Amino acid sequence: MKPIKDILRNLKSLAGPFPDFYTKDLPHNPSDLFMEWLKASIEEGVHEPHTMTLSTVDEVGAADARVLILKDVTRNRWYFATSTTTRKGRQLKSYPNVALTFYWSEIGRQVRIRGVASEMEAETSSKDFLERSSGARALALIGNQSKELKVREDLDEALLKTKELVKQAPDTVNPNWKLYAVHANEVEFWQGDPERKHIRVQYQRHGERWGYRLLWP
């Protein structure tokens, strides 16, 4: 077996072919360009294009990150959902400045979003909770995400109880479940190029107005 360093060096990255990205006449608002790219990723059969990395910082400024599901996109806002009692939930309370990162490898595209996360009102969050699958609701109703699991059987036992609860009372909501909106202040679109002439377009928000510029790859 070769050393892992050599195996890694021989793996291909950004081999293409990739779609064109014309930077003339770009939309004024990055949410519009994001929607174009998201739709393209769905049409091109990108694997789970609605997954993204949410990066946060904790109370001592140490970075943290994990993968979440994108729940919605509206003008200047990207949405995800989680429980306020998790590690990320606590981090968001102390420091709502976050980053979201999408990588659609099949089409060589990355989108980076920086912004401020805020909790949506209870009604909207409950609606999101009830739209989830019964299994996902049962797990979230236990409410122990990110706490230590002493033995695997504790999870089985708790799930059995909350699955029954979901069956008996399907409208039960975990009040700690929140939909968060990330109000973006910077969005970067990165189109990979097999020749390494990658294209980067960075939008920045000034109040309600957006401007954009190209960046060196």
Ligand X SMILES: Cc1cc2nc3c(=O)[nH]c(=O)nc-3n(C[C@H](O)[C@H](O)[C@H](O)COP(=O)(O)O)c2cc1C
Please pick, from the candidates 29, 76, 82, 174, the single residue that binds ligand X as defined by CB under 6 A. Answer: 82
If one asks whether residue 144 binds ligand X (CB under 6 A), the answer comes out as no
Please pick, from the candidates 26, 44, 51, 193, the single residue that binds ligand X as defined by CB under 6 A. Answer: 51
If one asks whether residue 187 binds ligand X (CB under 6 A), the answer comes out as no
If one asks whether residue 69 binds ligand X (CB under 6 A), the answer comes out as yes
Rounded Cα distance, 14 and 16, in Å:
6
Please pick, from the candidates 28, 66, 147, 167, the single residue that binds ligand X as defined by CB under 6 A. Answer: 66
Beta strands in 25-142 (DSSP E): 51-57, 63-69, 72-74, 77-83, 97-104, 109-119
If one asks whether residue 155 binds ligand X (CB under 6 A), the answer comes out as no
Q: Are 177 and 110 in contact (CB under 8 A)?
A: no
If one asks whether residue 85 binds ligand X (CB under 6 A), the answer comes out as no
Backbone angles phi, psi at 31, to 5 degrees: -65, -35
If one asks whether residue 81 binds ligand X (CB under 6 A), the answer comes out as yes
Binding pattern for the stretch 88-117 against ligand X, x by CB under 6 A and - elsewhere: x-----------------------------
How many binding residues for ligand X (CB under 6 A)?
14
**Nearby residues of 208 by Cβ (< 8 Å), 6 or more positions away:** none
If one asks whether residue 145 binds ligand X (CB under 6 A), the answer comes out as yes
CA distances from 37 to 111, 133, 158, 164, 185 (A): 9, 27, 40, 41, 19
In degrees, rounded to 5, the angle at the alpha carbon of residue 68 between the alpha carbons of residues 88 and 190 is 110
> Which residues would be at the binding site for ligand X (CB under 6 A)?
51, 64, 66-69, 80-82, 86-88, 145-146
